Structure 1
Amino acid sequence: MAEKSRTPVSSRATSSGVETAHEARSKARSGKKDRVVAMSPMNRQRKNKSHVLNEKDERPGGIIKEKSSVRSMAKTQPPSGRTISLTEINKPNALSKKNTEIKAAVEIQNRLTKKMAKNSERRKQMAHGPEMTAQNRTQERIDFVDFLDRHYQVIQAGVHKIQYTKEEFENVIYEAQTIFSSEKALVDIDPPCVVVGDLHGQFNDLINMFILLGRPPETVYVFTGDYVDRGMMSLECIMLLFTYKICYPENIVLLRGNHEIARVNKKYGFYEECVTSIPKCGEEIWALFQRCFNNLPISALIATKILCMHGGLSPALTCLDELRNHPKPIRNPFRGIVNDMLWADPDPSVFEWKASSRGSGFTFGTNVIDDVCKRLGVELIIRAHQMCFDGYWVLSGRKLITIFSAPMYCNFYKNAGCVLKVDETLGIQMIAFVPASENIEKIIEEKNRVWDISIDCID
């Protein structure tokens, strides 16, 4: 049989002619890189596919990708000068379009994260605004004694506003708040002292009281609240009292009244006075006052026998230690012991307890007064909260006295003001401030009653 001629399956052109498959295999064995393999077209297609799948791109970073993926990523790589985030490096991207979408999502997420962090820092600064502001200005701290004297330099009738700087507001509020924070909700004090009722922004009457009865520290004072609202000089009243507290913290006690609550003094005048009298930052200063009011004590106990508060008693008050250890600050009280003691009123026609027509707290009868005095071991309850035409009102066999210390209230009522002077033996002396008006004594005798409580209510 004739021998068939063999034709090389694969060959390529060389400089010397045609290179056979045998010669190509010989070159491969000798270490040449240009290796040629004989295969059918079908096997060549299958080999090419496995070749792509098996060869990996081993780049720094420990990430192995297919060549096709590497090529598509190479087209979308950023310039060498741009910093690539870890999210971009570690995120496998198969297509350039998908790459762009992921990068955009990462950038949006980064912007949101920065914005949330910025807002959180702003809220933190707002929460600690007065502390940070005052601490940063400790080297510019005002002279509080000279600041007190400013209030006595111009004494005149009518409304005469005193101009305070923003730094003075911040320093006084911060220092006073620091002292109030260190006091318990029930403050224990020793006689002699003077107990004062509502002031309601009547600055001239406050100055007259200090001139006639003595200023701190010579005279010890217990104020039962309601320093602001209704009157036209609430800022002057509260700034003077706060400064006295800073200079002589042991010689003046400032209790909280129901008008030292944000929802109340925003309605009855203090907020409007702050915004009107303090340009540009009135609302900010008003908010600082509210934080300070939240730290005011609620009641005072004189020689363990005379209990003072602004409003009255609470059905939840079982012992004095429960009130003494009540946590502070007390933000926006609306129920419980604190709320009741700021809003409650006595009423001889009520047996035990009844919901108050003010919209908050209770009214309580004389039997409650007797029971509380016996249970708590006190002999007298002094409270304010109601305007009395003769300045004071006595109930339940002299176990409860209501006092009101703003004469000619709001220049509308022809009433007297009254304070109580307590001596070392717990003897009580009533000191009245009677307006210089015609037939004033007769008017007071005819209207010897308390003010209608429905006028002072909350929504």
Structure 2
Amino acid sequence: MPNKKESDTTVSSLPSDESNPTISSTIASTEYSKGNKPLSSAPVQIPISYPEDGMLTVEWIQDLTLTFDWSSRNLPPSEFPSVFPVDVFDTLVLTASKILHKEPNCVVIDDFDQDSRVVVVGDVHGQLHDVLFLLRDAGFPSKNCFFVFNGDYVDRGAWGLETFLLLLAWKVFLPHRVYLLRGNHESKYCTSVYGFEKEVMAKYGDKGKHAYRKCLGCFEGLPLASLIGKHVFTAHGGLFRSVSHAPSKKPKGKKKNKVVFNPETNPLSLGSFHELAKARRSVLDPPWNPQLSSNLIPGDLLWSDPSMKLGLSENTERGIGLLWGPDSTEEFLKKFSLKLIIRSHEGPDARQKRPDLAGMDNGYTIDHDVESGMCITLFSAPDYPQFQATEERFRNKGAYIVLKPPKFDIPDFNVFEAVTPRPDVNPFYDFKNAIDSDEELELASMGPST
């Protein structure tokens, strides 16, 4: 059975790290305030510079954390280059991109010992201060503390850039302990609608287009899923279809550049890890032709939703991905000897429109509880969205999951509230007129990403 507890109001003790004994003592000694309150107003030195030897340290990440927190409260967005110069941005993003692009579509995380634990995090959507609280509440990444972030780092919140850069820094510092998966908002289309593109432009000015393109390139390298131990599968949206029966071909002759798609003649079926491994994840946006099999699997992994209706079906509400029922959860778990599916993708706004499923008041729901295990939705952005058109806010809590030995297959739910006070900022998108969830995106208007 899953375990549930409210987060403590004190800084979590950190596991030791034999390879870097300072990782616990240095961060733990920082004068953080107790509970989900702002970090202390410790003096910061700006601008941040990249280490001359190219090696990040825990002290550098600590300085970056405090500096981003301070600048978010004291400087306008246009002053961001004075905090994090574009040359430092370029170095960090390039270094992280090289690591990410070398990882497989589904990362396997199993380098555990008896003291290891894994923290799984859902959507954070640019809510920097809640991410800072989560990191210190869960215990920072270290040799024995793994982190798996399940996507949607940017959009809607005002600090998507700082959030993404901080997590990239942790990835560069501990590449085999921090895993960053892609969410549906790590795409060209979503970031042009929900604020991240405008945020980057506002923060980097005449270098904004350059910085935004670099972020898109980094998004392309983000893996699509993870296997934790032998029994836990995570992906931002969820399950995916088999595409082995939907090949495409190019005809010969004058029309050789035109792709002809063979219609799917077989009913939908669940995909395999072999198919997942071969998927083309470099395509950022969903398929603009729904029968193009090369990126159907990424589209499913990033956009699909669980349902209480049995079977697999096209996700017509979103216009992309699948809906899958508890029978499909059971089939997937049993076929691959799994116990848990941990997905994210749905906040309180989306769940408000789906009365057949539980709401997101506490940052997580158990959507399917079947013979072989469970399907869980995890959402880590409390009081979401930061900007909201309705007068009554959802005031949801956020959550993260801790998995522990010996099998890492029993979820320990940790629920937390939003950090207060949140700095006053202007939104980077038209939140009053923007749709409240991703369910109605006009995906037909999309063209190939550039």
Q: TM-score higher than 0.5 here?
A: yes
Match of 1:318 in 2: 271
Match of 1:207 in 2: 132
| Aligned-residue offset at 1:363 | 1.4
Alignment of 1:141-220 (within 5 A): 144-145=56-57, 146-154=59-67, 155=69, 163-190=83-110, 192-218=117-143, 219-220=145-146
Deviations 1:210-260 (A, max 9, x none): 111111225210000000000000011000000111111011000000001
- SS of aligned partner of 2:206: coil
In structure 1, runs of 5+ residues without a counterpart are 1-136, 438-450
Distance 1:435 1:236 in 2: 17
Does structure 1 retain, via aligned residues, the 8 Å contact 2:318–2:440?
yes
In structure 2, do the counterparts of structure 1 residues 328 and 361 end up closer, same or farther at CA, with 3 Å as the change threshold?
A: closer
In structure 2, do the counterparts of structure 1 residues 245 and 458 end up closer, same or farther at CA, with 3 Å as the change threshold?
A: farther
Does structure 1 retain, via aligned residues, the 8 Å contact 2:237–2:300?
yes
Tell whether 2:382 aligns with 1:399: no
In structure 2, runs of 5+ residues without a counterpart are 1-48, 243-269, 288-294, 348-359, 387-392, 421-434, 444-450
Number of matched pairs: 310
- SS of aligned partner of 1:285: helix
Distance 2:51 2:170 in 1: 21
**Residue type at the aligned position of 1:144:** L
Q: Which has the larger radius of gyration?
A: 1
Tell whether 2:162 aligns with 1:236: yes
Does structure 1 retain, via aligned residues, the 8 Å contact 2:236–2:301?
yes
**Residue type at the aligned position of 1:430:** F
Alignment of 1:365-376 (within 5 A): 365-376=325-336
Tell whether 2:377 aligns with 1:377: no
| Aligned-residue offset at 1:144 | 3.0
Does structure 2 retain, via aligned residues, the 8 Å contact 1:344–1:356?
no
Match of 1:223 among 135, 144, 149: 149
Distance 1:263 1:436 in 2: 29
Distance 1:199 1:153 in 2: 19
Match of 1:410 among 367, 385, 394: 385
Percent same amino acid at aligned positions?
A: 29
Match of 1:432 in 2: 415
Does structure 1 retain, via aligned residues, the 8 Å contact 2:186–2:284?
no
Task: Select the structure that is richer in helix.
Answer: 1
Distance 2:102 2:438 in 1: 35
Deviations 1:287-331 (A, max 9, x none): 111111111100000112100000011222432122134355344
Distance 2:338 2:437 in 1: 27
Deviations 1:181-205 (A, max 9, x none): 1110010002520000000000001
Alignment of 1:54-73 (within 5 A): none
In structure 2, do the counterparts of structure 1 residues 138 and 273 end up closer, same or farther at CA, with 3 Å as the change threshold?
A: closer
Tell whether 2:348 aligns with 1:364: no
Tell whether 2:425 aligns with 1:457: no
Distance 2:71 2:398 in 1: 17
**Residue type at the aligned position of 2:169:** T
Does structure 2 retain, via aligned residues, the 8 Å contact 1:159–1:232?
no
Does structure 2 retain, via aligned residues, the 8 Å contact 1:295–1:330?
no
Match of 1:340 in 2: 300
Q: Aligned Cα RMSD in Å? A: 2.6
Deviations 1:128-186 (A, max 9, x none): xxxxxxxxx99966563354223332546975565311101110110001001111001
TM-score where L is the length of structure 1: 0.63
Distance 2:436 2:333 in 1: 26
Does structure 2 retain, via aligned residues, the 8 Å contact 1:343–1:361?
yes
In structure 2, do the counterparts of structure 1 residues 404 and 139 end up closer, same or farther at CA, with 3 Å as the change threshold?
A: closer
